[in-house]
Structure 1
Amino acid sequence: MPALSALPHFDPRDVPLVGVDDHLPAVPAQAQTPEALRQRFAAPPPWVPEVQRERKFMEREPALAAVLVPIVLRERPTVLLTERTAHLSTHSGQVAFPGGRSDPEDRDAAATALREAQEEVGLESARVEVLGSLSTYITGSAFVVTPVVALVRPGFTLQPNPHEVADVFEVPLDFLLNPAHHQRHALQWQGLRREWFAMPYQDGARTRYIWGATAGMLRNFYRFLMA
């Protein structure tokens, strides 16, 4: 089983559950349609992100970054996710959105997210309709991440960058927007309590373990749509 953390002797899958949020309502199906999503981002309601900052576990200067939250418009819409390669210096082996550090020439967060998606998995920007952004999310590795939500027309052919991406897969949007699948975990580490969400998804015989920053941003997306 591959490691999901660069921290020695730490595997989030081994940390006991604190709880599952099955008492919260799922995002209604009618709120997940392309038109409903367009309308929500065109006139966003007041809302408060639930997860904004992780406890720092790495000393470094903060760096701006952006990720693409790509909603693929299949009959049952999905979210396109990647599994990072094991040798990367931060968040190796983890499930992630396509994305990365902002470059000086990037016009805005959406430009960063689109460029990174093209570089990481070969997703052409011509197939992508950017809807808008969620609140920034600050990772424990000091990245200030802007999640850019977009609709993606199917029919694309992906070409993952083998240096950064070990695998690419899709998870149904309605699964991720149902808190019955949102697990809470907590751990005492270096004298501090660290908490995170996990959303394990059974993909055939394989469990896609979505946790940490990716799960936190998805939880914020849930809060945005339920506001």
Structure 2
Amino acid sequence: MTKRAAHLRHHPGQISFPGGKYEESDHSLQQTAKREAREEIGIPEEKIRIVGQLPELVTVSQFAVTPFLAFVESDYPIQLDHNEVDEVFEVPISFLLDRKKIYSGTFQLKNHRHKLFALSYKQHFIWGMTAQIIQSLQKQFINYNELV
């Protein structure tokens, strides 16, 4: 996970997964995800193996986000783009999948009710779209476990 640079115009200092907007040079949204991971934290694209895709999520400001799941080889040197990222850190998957760790609530904005998710890991407070992605991942694992 990354802590976004403090000087950014949007979501400064917030915790996020690497990612960003699709560019015309990207062949697919998977390519966008790999490119953004390389640009933001230096993971070479050949060290990333995408193994799944979560359902598309929509932000409060109506941006569509398509999360991908990937395995990343651990032997890569971290190279932060300090224009975008202040810090990178790992969170164990067992922590992310623990439903007891995530808070959920609702809020109203412009006459629309929205769900809010949040969790804390060490000194990091994870909320917003990042926590929504984690909740979506938890939901997929719960649905899978019910089928097996």
TM-score by length of structure 2 reads 0.89
2:56 is the alignment partner of 1:136: yes
Q: How does 1:95-134 map to 2 (within 5 A)?
A: 95-134=15-54
Q: Using the alignment, how far apart are the partners of 2:100 and 2:135 within structure 1?
A: 12
Q: Which amino acid aligns with 1:218?
A: I
Other-structure match for 2:135: 219
2:76 is the alignment partner of 1:156: yes
Q: How does 1:149-188 map to 2 (within 5 A)?
A: 149-188=69-108
Q: Using the alignment, how far apart are the partners of 2:29 and 2:89 within structure 1?
A: 23
Other-structure match for 1:196: 116
Q: Which amino acid aligns with 1:123?
A: I
Contiguous gaps of at least 5 residues in structure 2: 144-148
**8 Å Cα contact 1:130-1:151 kept in structure 2:** yes
Q: Which has a greater percent of helix?
A: 2
- Post-superposition Cα deviations, 1:49-75, rounded to whole Å, max 9, x if no partner, equal xxxxxxxxxxxxxxxxxxxxxxxxxxx
CA gap of 1:189–1:132, structure 2 versus 1, over 3 A, is closer
CA gap of 1:85–1:141, structure 2 versus 1, over 3 A, is farther
What is the Cα deviation at residue 188 of structure 1?
4.6
Q: Using the alignment, how far apart are the partners of 2:64 and 2:108 within structure 1?
A: 24
Matched residue count: 143
Contiguous gaps of at least 5 residues in structure 1: 1-80
**8 Å Cα contact 1:176-1:218 kept in structure 2:** yes
Q: Using the alignment, how far apart are the partners of 1:133 and 1:96 within structure 2?
A: 17
Give % identity.
36
| RCO comparison, higher one (Cα < 8 Å, 6+) | 1
- Post-superposition Cα deviations, 1:67-89, rounded to whole Å, max 9, x if no partner, equal xxxxxxxxxxxxxx001112222
Other-structure match for 2:146: none
3-state DSSP class of the match of 1:100? coil
What is the Cα deviation at residue 192 of structure 1?
4.9
Other-structure match for 1:210: 126
TM-score by length of structure 1 reads 0.59
